[in-house]
Chains A and B, each alone.
Chain A
């Protein structure tokens, strides 16, 4: 008897009890037949599970009804709305990504913040000391009896002090502080500001002031350095990493086999050219939905894919510091990037806010759009993306 035939008849539901019994007896003794039986059971089980999860896209139903001049019945939307489910599922998935990214960004920023945080600032020093001292006090405490300062600024500031080979500042020497403030605080010139220095730097300033001959104390113009320091950066370099949650148009709901965990990120290094203006480079990796026509073996085929591509380019950032939403905390900004991807030219534009809780750390949040153009068989196609971007940057 042909047991294989019985096996197929069994799966077709056409076996009577007697023949079924014969088949089961054979299965009990024939290992190969049993393996074949198990294989078909597994196949059928897998296929039935797919039938159960087969989902008809609402957009497809909508296009059918729209094509006929009908409106899509609400019952169909709810009954066969995989995209509703997919959208909420997608939201959950994206939500998890966003949450993870935000938390990890915050954690990284916190660690960096703790590592780089200055232990004291001149601002703090300035708040604890009088801005001026009396000439008498100066005379009493210096070893130069002939020294009588003529003006308050000259008597209360140090000689230029070099900090870490890159900054010069002027500060009030704490040892010259008098309990009695005899003169009003001097008015600072436009190019003088309180600046942040580390404890070590403050100690070197003190040392320099103590060792400096007081009669040579000049008024110091350190505006350039001060401006540099108050911008939070001495090198003017801003390195940022950010992620994005975005949607491609055309939207292609296909996984990219080449995609790894290193997707949807961008690294930016910008150099401050002037106040509010910075330029530099940016690179990143993300997926772009593509839909184009291509000829295979003489037949035109519509290709829809969702490749993950590397891209990079030149970037320019404009900060709207005059439009700070919270004083010294929230700055609107825009950023534009022009560059190339693995398949063609790319342009990006970002509009967002920079949150500056500390001089060296900046968080950013914004809306970003990008346009990718690519050629296929001498025809140009494009993909646009729109989404949310968020990240953190460190200023050096």
Chain B
């Protein structure tokens, strides 16, 4: 059953969500299957904690489903899903942001070479320090593997601006993690 839908386009599936219950359920499940993993990673990395990520992830799909049933006109379905999530993340960040100065972030040295898992944990901490716009661009480009064009469709920013943010984000993360990267 899912095999048939796997060849259906995002837009067609989006339209099918307005159909009777069974077909809508199958269409939604197929779209969920296509974007849920990436969306979950995005929420986790941008929000920096599991609870908020779960809340935003769930809310995103609820809103997406509502929009689909209302027949909202959407061209880029993937981008639309991420836009919903992005707005929710921004709201969430605004209400719970704790400001941490870069200079006040101390990452002490380690007495043994860092393994990749440890480095990932440090990257997460470094992401927490970054401004939202840098963090988001970095996550979408470096982790989700999106092109600058795809990111621009989500954030509404220009490609040069996004390139600049990813560049700055890379440099800041490298600066924060330089003691550990040197040991790798």
Contact = CB atoms under 8 A, between A and B. Distances in A.
Interface string B92-115: 000110100000000000000000
Given A8-B170, A68-B28, A297 B51 contact: no
Interface of chain A, main secondary structure = helix
B116 A49 contact: yes
B62 interface: yes
Interface in A47-95: 47, 49-51, 54, 56-57, 60-61, 63-65, 67-68, 70-71, 73, 75-76, 79-80
Given A46-B116, A67-B58, A56 B178 contact: no
A73 B2 contact: yes
Interface in A6-20: 8, 11-12
Interface residues of B, number: 45
B36 to A, nearest CB: 5
Interface residues of A, number: 41
A39 B174 contact: yes
A380 interface: no
Interface string B35-60: 01100110010000011101001100
Interface in B161-184: 163, 166-167, 170, 173-174, 177-178, 181-182, 184
B133 interface: no
A70 B51 contact: no
Contacts of A51: 41, 143-145
Interface of B: 2, 25-26, 28-29, 32-33, 36-37, 40-41, 44, 50-52, 54, 57-58, 61-62, 65, 95-96, 98, 116, 119-120, 123, 141-145, 148, 163, 166-167, 170, 173-174, 177-178, 181-182, 184
Interface stretch (A174-182, A276-284, A299-307, A370-378): A299-307
Given A68-B62, A75-B2, A299-B95, A11 B170 contact: yes
Given A60-B57, A68-B62, A76-B32, A43 B181 contact: yes
A46 B41 CA distance: 15
B98 A12 contact: no
29 contacts: A8-B166, A11-B170, A36-B174, A38-B181, A39-B174, A42-B119, A43-B119, A43-B181, A45-B116, A47-B142, A50-B143, A51-B145, A56-B37, A56-B40, A60-B54, A60-B57, A63-B58, A65-B29, A68-B28, A68-B62, A68-B65, A71-B25, A76-B32, A76-B33, A80-B33, A80-B36, A254-B50, A299-B95, A301-B96
Nearest to A297: B98
Contacts of B166: 8, 12
Contact of B33 (A35, A68, A79): A79
Interface in A290-347: 296-297, 299, 301-302, 304
Nearest to B142: A47
A42 B41 contact: no
Q: Identify the 9 closest CB pairs spanning chains A and B, nearest first.
A: A39-B181, A46-B119, A73-B29, A70-B25, A54-B41, A56-B40, A46-B116, A8-B167, A64-B61
Contact of B32 (A63, A64, A254): A64
A302 B51 contact: yes
B61 A68 contact: yes
A71 B100 CA distance: 42
Given A39-B178, A47-B123, A64-B61, 5 more contacts: A51-B143, A60-B58, A67-B58, A70-B29, A301-B96
Given A70-B28, A75-B2, A304 B177 contact: no
Contact of B181 (A42, A57, A296): A42
Contacts of A35: 182
B51 A304 contact: yes
Given A44-B142, A49-B116, A56-B40, A64 B170 contact: no
